[in-house]
């Protein structure tokens, strides 16, 4: 089937002499004049198309490179019987123009029309722009009629029907039966009208129907008066419609011109898809394969004729076991366009294939599978770790780069190499090779370097000054208060909806007079049956919570027991997610709750860098490694095991205690921000290979729970704005106090940008989101299917941004 588009070159809508015209598929230079020796390579693509009315549309492409007037065949895919004749058109890859060229030797495709209309969906100077979900495409309805009559000379006065057609920019070519076929090939009309007075009307129509390219052409008979039923019945096998010469209704013709213009775009797209470097296949909603491209044939070793029409599950690919298709998860409801972009879409999870539901208005859906890690990153998400980082990621560890190369390689190499590459990735991701270096933020960005120095790099060459800055940890303030809980109705009410993300833990802090942790903890532990797992009573658990709460510093503006309650509440919320419940083991879930409770125990209100710079005894004790985090969890076990009546692990069998303790330590240590990107990368690596997640449940559960508590620890920016803002002010106040002390004592400033006199608080929050929160929650929310948290993060980011422009540092003296 050959196509032409019916506008003259240059976009005018005058009746054109020649009707081949370019179909611009991409943006490209639409004024590009194709010359015989164009500066960029021109190739001729011969495409055979099935009839458009009979899916699946298969296309074989024989690429011919044009050299002079000769065409040398470039590549031939495995033979698939073309159902119809060859179509010939040109495309120049560099400019993604596809020229439809009638196979008249030597005829140049014409220059293209004006540039794509930016808005799309409009008709400008006779050109129609079709806006689809992926952007506008320039299509020009082909308004060409071939009128077959016995007298080629036009009647003195055109009939009303023809006048109406011409007034709507239609071109009418008259011909006689003997030259009708040649003229059809020459003009490529969308509408063939035969004069009802033709002596051999039916045989003429039948002869034209025999041309394969007429399968999508509208056949009409033009008559002076309405046909009798009998006459219509005899003609119905040859004609789709009869038109009265006296009629001025051309609506069917107009519609058909538009529809066929869209259909004509198919060969272009199939050529692009067929020539794409990455394997692509298209399935319908029943997972029947409708189409595969040449790269798929190449990588799978099967010919498309062997797979088209087959059920995905039947496909056993010859060369790549892993390339088998994932079993489909049919969504309960057809994903709408919006769904497609929400995390709730039931994507067919597979590490090998990126599945894209094709948005369509119909209930049934097609799915495009694109093999991951393939050449054309533009379409499929590249598995390299680098691409897993948000484009704005500021930090890349050398090891991450190496793993990104390996992840890419893994999906391109053949099957016997793949396991080795996969193993290499596992080895690299298991050892401490992550030494993130801030690579992309401006040195002048003091806040970002403040976070980097103060949270990640930590160690400062420091002047030695003996400091007994924080001795509070010696003062083990053990609560000797009563352990029998009396709960007022206010507290009971304040504990309502503790399972909601909107829960206001700061209100609970107020109502309980700084005992949010013990009260909220008791409720959450009870809801999670922690007592059952630990084989201890809720009374013991409440006593334990009271002791732990008493060892947080109430005078810290941020790192106090309410922050622990906040992180515990977030941990409980995340554990409630269906996806997490599927992957987190019970022991790790309970460990996460306990870890959240103790994760900042006895925090001195100063960061690790400060303790290291002051040679604090904790820094000496823990050799500058995760100093505070080690202290939090060590003290937690000391307090638990040393205090009679509060040992919540007392009844745990030894083996279970060892496992529980290991998991709690692991998760608390994971809150050390100096290893943020290490844990994040491992989580991303794991969750982009969903099938792998099944084969090492224990280790994977821990990786997920580490990420869970990490996100709970930095979840402030995802909370309701009122809470987000309060937490932001609290953390900055604590930083101000640290910086003030560093200045007073001549210590290195660990958190640059957090000087009370000059700090732009909203800007510090935006930087925290840019550097840490956005990327972590993008990965976390996609995996845990919590898209609403990302929406809140971006809303809060914009709220901080709005304030940053007018922030007055004089506000910094009264943040709380
Ligand atoms: N600026 C800013 N930093 C935060 C916020 N939440 C957590 N952090 C930082 O992330 C760190 C996580 O570990 P810590 O609790 O030790 O200290 C925390 C802060 O340094 C926030 O809302 N704003």
What confidence category does residue 650 fall into, taking pLDDT thresholds of 50, 70 and 90? very high
Higher-confidence residue of 523 and 347: namely: 523
Of the two residues 410 and 514, the one the predictor is more confident about is: 514
pLDDT at position 486 is: 61
If one counts every other C-beta atom within 10 angstroms of the C-beta of residue 476, the result is 15
Q: Which two tokens stand for residue 432?
A: 């401490």
What is the structure's pLDDT at 299?
63
Sign of CA dihedral 658, 660, 666, 671: negative
For residue 511, whether the previous peptide bond is cis, meaning omega lies within 30 degrees of 0, is no
Comparing 487-491, 549-553, 568-572, 624-628, the range with the smallest average pLDDT is 487-491
Nearest-angstrom CA–CA distance, 667 and 593: 10
Give the span between the Cα atoms of 766 and 747, in whole angstroms. 27
Question: What whole-number distance in Å separates Cα of residue 276 and Cα of residue 299?
Answer: 13
Top pLDDT among 351 and 589 is at 589
pLDDT at 16 over 50: no
Q: How far is the CA of 729 from the centre of ligand 1 (A)?
A: 11
CA dist 527 and 60 (Å) reads: 62
Q: Pick the residue with more confidence: 131 or 412?
A: 412
Atom in ligand 1 nearest the alpha carbon of residue 724: 22
CA 244 to chain CA centroid, Å, is 54
CA quadruple 485, 487, 493, 494: dihedral positive or negative?
negative
Token pair 């190496």: residue: 402
> Is 561 flagged in the annotation as binding?
yes
Atom of ligand 1 nearest to the CA of 607: 16
- The pLDDT confidence band at residue 520, using thresholds 50, 70 and 90, is very high
For ligand 1, the distance from its centroid to the CA atom of residue 687, given in whole angstroms, is 25
Do residues 173 and 145 touch, judged by C-beta distance below 8 A? yes
Tell whether 602 is in a known binding site: no
Residue nearest to atom 4 of ligand 1 (CA): 714
Whole-complex ipTM: 0.97
What count of Cα atoms within 13 Å lies in the side-chain half-sphere of residue 174? 11
Task: Give me the catalytic one of 411, 519, 559, 603.
Answer: 559
Q: What is the pLDDT of residue 479?
A: 36
pLDDT of 88 higher than 60: no
Q: What is the DSSP string of 197-239?
A: T-TTHHHHHHHHHTSGGGGGPEEEEEESSPPPHHHHHHHTTT-
Q: Find which of 160-169, 301-310, 598-607, 639-648 is predicted with most confidence, using mean pLDDT.
A: 598-607
Question: Is 29 assigned a ligand-binding role in the annotation?
Answer: no
- Short-list 784, 781, 780, 782, CA closest to 580: 784
In terms of average pLDDT, the best of 95-109, 123-137, 482-496, 497-511 is 497-511
Distance in Å from the first CA to the final CA of the chain: 74
* Residue 426 CB coordination number (10 Å): 12
Are 549 and 518 in contact, with CB atoms under 8 Å apart?
yes
Nearest Cα residue to 125 out of 250, 13, 270: 13
Cα distance between residue 50 and residue 59, in whole Å? 7
* φ, ψ dihedrals at 394, nearest 5°: -95, -15
| Ligand 1 atom closest to Cα of residue 559 | 15
**Residue 128 near residue 257 (C-beta atoms within 8 A):** no
Tell which wins on pLDDT, 50 or 505.
Answer: 505
Q: Is the pLDDT of residue 174 over 80?
A: yes
> What token pair was written down for 263?
């259909």
Contact between 118 and 135 under an 8 Å Cβ cutoff? The reply is no
Q: Tokens 């004509």 — which residue?
A: 264
Q: What is the C-alpha separation between 358 and 371, in angstroms, rounded?
A: 16
Q: With a cut of 70, say whether residue 5 has pLDDT above it.
A: no
- The answer to whether 546 and 518 are in contact (CB under 8 A) is yes
Q: List, for residues 652-696, the tens digit of each pLDDT value.
A: 999 999 999 999 999 999 999 999 999 999 999 999 876 666 678
- pLDDT at position 94: 37
728 C-alpha to center of ligand 1: Å? 9
At residue 394, the pLDDT reads: 54
The pair of structure tokens assigned to 101 is 């060229």
Confidence of residue 372 (pLDDT cuts 50, 70, 90): low
d(CA 287, CA 355): 12
Q: 558 vs 257, 307, 473, 769, CA distance in Å?
A: 68, 61, 17, 18
Give the C-alpha distances (Å, rounded to integers) separating 552 from 521, 544, 667, 717: 14, 13, 19, 23
The answer for residues whose C-beta is within 8 angstroms of residue 530's C-beta and 6 or more apart is 541, 590, 593, 594, 648
Residues 142, 4 contacting (CB under 8 angstroms): yes
Q: Is 19 annotated among the ligand-binding residues?
A: no
Task: Give how far Cα 501 sits from Cα of 250, 573, 577, 584, 798, Å.
Answer: 60, 7, 12, 20, 20
Give 123's pLDDT tier (boundaries 50, 70, 90).
Answer: low
For residue 106, give the 3-state DSSP assignment: coil
Containing 590, the helix (H) or strand (E) segment is helix 586-598
- Cα gap 282→358, rounded to integer Å: 9
631 appears as a binding residue in the annotation: no
Q: Which of 154-158, 197-201, 224-228 comes out lowest in average pLDDT?
A: 154-158
Contact call for residues 754 and 450 (beta carbons, < 8 A): yes
**On the CB side of 740, how many CA atoms lie within 13 Å of its CA?**
13
Q: From the CA of 714, how far away is ligand 1's center (Å)? A: 6
Round to whole Å and give the CA distance between 529 and 523.
10
Express as a percent the part of the chain with pLDDT over 90: 43
- Ligand 1 centroid to Cα of residue 673, in Å, is 8
Q: Which residues contact 666 (CB under 8 A, 6 or more apart)?
A: 702, 706
For strand 135-139 and strand 43-49, is the pairing parallel, antiparallel, or unpaired? unpaired
Q: How many CB atoms lie within 10 A of CB 33?
A: 12
When pLDDT is averaged across residues 708-723 and rounded to a whole number, the result is 98
CA distances (Å), origin 537, targets 345, 376, 659:
42, 58, 21
Task: Output b/e per residue, 505-520; b: 16+ Cβ within 10 A.
Answer: bbebbebbeebbbbbb
**Paired tokens of 217:** 């052409």
Ligand 1 lining (C-beta closer than 6 Å): 455, 600, 671, 673, 713-714, 716-717, 727-728, 731, 764-765, 768
Instruction: Please give the model's pTM, rounded to 2 decimal places.
Output: 0.52
- Structure confidence by residue, pLDDT tens digits, 287-325: 788 888 887 887 677 788 888 888 876 765 444 444 444
- Measure the CA–CA gap between 602 and 592, rounded to whole angstroms: 18
Three-state SS sequence of 535-561: CCCHHHHHHHHHHHHHCCCCCCCCCCH
Q: Which atom of ligand 1 is nearest to the CA of 451?
A: 20
Query: pLDDT band at residue 448, thresholds of 50, 70 and 90?
Result: confident
Name residues whose C-beta falls within 8 Å of residue 485's C-beta, 6 or more positions apart in sequence: 519, 522, 542
Q: What are phi and psi of 783, to 5 degrees?
A: -70, -45
Mutation choice for ligand 1 from 731, 777, 796, 812, CB with most ligand atoms inside 8 A: 731
Instruction: Calculate Rg over the CA atoms of the chain.
Output: 36
Q: Of the given ranges (48-62, 624-638, 642-656, 693-707), which has the lowest mean pLDDT?
A: 48-62
| Secondary structure (DSSP) of 7-24 | --GGG--SPPS----EEE
């Amino acid at each position: 089937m050959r196509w032409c588009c019916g506008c003259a070159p240059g976009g005018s809508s005058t009746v054109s002499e020649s009707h081949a015209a370019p179909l611009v598929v991409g943006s490209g230079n639409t004024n590009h004049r194709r010359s015989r020796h164009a500066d960029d390579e021109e190739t001729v693509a011969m495409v055979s198309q099935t009839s458009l009315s009979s899916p699946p549309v298969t296309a074989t492409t024989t690429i011919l490179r044009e050299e002079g007037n000769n065409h040398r065949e470039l590549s031939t895919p495995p033979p698939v019987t073309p159902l119809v004749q060859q179509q010939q058109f040109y495309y120049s890859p560099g400019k993604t123009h596809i020229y439809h060229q009638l196979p008249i030797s030597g005829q140049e495709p014409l220059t293209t029309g004006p540039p794509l209309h930016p808005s799309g969906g409009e008709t400008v100077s006779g050109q129609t722009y079709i806006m689809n979900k992926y952007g506008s495409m320039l299509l020009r309805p082909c308004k060409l009629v071939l009128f077959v009559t016995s007298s080629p000379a036009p009647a003195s006065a055109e009939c009303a029907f023809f006048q109406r057609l011409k007034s709507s920019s239609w071109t009418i070519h008259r011909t006689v039966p003997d030259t009708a076929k040649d003229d059809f090939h020459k003009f490529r009309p969308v509408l063939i009208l035969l004069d009802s007075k033709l002596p051999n009307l039916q045989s003429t129509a039948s002869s034209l129907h025999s041309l394969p390219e007429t399968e999508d052409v509208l056949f009409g008979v033009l008559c002076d008066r309405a046909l009798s039923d009998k006459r219509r019945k005899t003609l119905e096998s040859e004609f789709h419609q009869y038109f009265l010469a006296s009629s001025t209704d051309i609506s069917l013709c107009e519609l058909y011109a538009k529809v066929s213009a869209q259909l004509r775009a198919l060969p272009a797209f199939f050529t692009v898809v067929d020539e794409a470097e990455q394997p692509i296949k298209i399935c319908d909603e029943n997972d029947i394969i409708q189409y595969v491209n040449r790269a798929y044939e190449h990588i799978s070793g099967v010919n498309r004729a062997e797979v088209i029409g087959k059920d995905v599950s039947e496909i056993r690919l010859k060369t790549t076991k892993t390339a088998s298709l994932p079993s489909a998860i049919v969504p309960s409801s057809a994903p709408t366009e919006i769904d497609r972009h929400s995390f709730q879409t039931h994507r067919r999870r597979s590490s090998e294939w990126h599945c894209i539901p094709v948005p369509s208005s119909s209930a049934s859906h097609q799915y495009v599978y694109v093999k991951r890690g393939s050449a054309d990153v533009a379409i499929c998400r590249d598995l390299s770790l680098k691409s897993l980082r948000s484009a704005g990621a500021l930090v890349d560890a050398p090891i991450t780069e190496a793993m990104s190369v390996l992840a890419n390689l893994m999906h391109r190499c053949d099957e016997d190499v793949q396991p080795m590459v996969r193993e290499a990735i596992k080895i690299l991701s298991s050892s401490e090779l992550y030494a993130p270096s801030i690579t992309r933020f401006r040195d002048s960005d003091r806040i970002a370097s403040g976070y980097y120095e103060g949270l990640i790099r930590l160690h400062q060459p420091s002047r030695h000054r003996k400091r007994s800055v924080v001795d509070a940890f010696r003062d083990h303030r053990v609560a000797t208060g009563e352990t029998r809980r009396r709960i007022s109705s206010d507290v009971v009410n304040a504990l309502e909806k503790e399972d909601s993300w909107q829960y206001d833990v700061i209100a609970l802090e107020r109502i309980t007079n700084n005992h949010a942790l013990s009260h909220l903890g008791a409720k959450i532990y009870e809801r999670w049956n922690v007592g059952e797992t630990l084989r201890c009573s809720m009374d013991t658990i409440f006593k334990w919570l009271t002791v732990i709460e008493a060892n947080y510093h109430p005078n810290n503006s941020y790192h106090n027991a309410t922050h622990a309650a906040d992180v515990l509440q977030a941990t409980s919320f995340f554990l409630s997610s269906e996806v997490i419940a599927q992957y987190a083991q019970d022991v790790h879930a309970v460990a996460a709750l306990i870890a959240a409770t103790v994760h900042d125990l006895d925090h001195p209100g100063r960061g690790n860098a400060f303790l290291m710079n002051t040679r604090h005894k904790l820094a000496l004790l823990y050799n500058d490694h995760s100093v505070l985090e080690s202290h939090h969890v060590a003290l937690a076990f000391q307090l638990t095991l040393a205090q009679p009546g509060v040992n919540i692990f007392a009844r745990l069998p030894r083996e279970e205690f060892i496992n529980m303790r290991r998991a709690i330590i692991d998760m608390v240590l994971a809150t050390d921000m100096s290893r943020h990107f290490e844990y994040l990368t491992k989580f991303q690596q794991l969750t982009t290979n969903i099938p792998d997640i099944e084969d090492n449940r224990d280790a994977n559960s821990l990786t997920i729970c580490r990420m869970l508590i990490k996100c709970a620890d930095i979840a402030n920016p995802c909370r309701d704005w009122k809470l987000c803002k309060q937490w932001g002010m609290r953390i900055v106040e604590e930083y101000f106090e640290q910086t003030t002390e560093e200045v007073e004592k001549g210590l290195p400033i660990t958190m640059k940008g957090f000087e009370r006199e000059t700090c732009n608080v909203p800007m510090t929050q935006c930087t925290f989101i840019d550097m840490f929160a956005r990327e972590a929650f993008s990965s976390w929310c996609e995996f845990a299917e919590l898209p609403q948290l990302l929406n809140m993060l971006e809303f809060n980011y914009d709220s901080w941004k709005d304030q940053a422009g007018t922030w007055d540092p004089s506000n910094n003296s009264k943040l709380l």
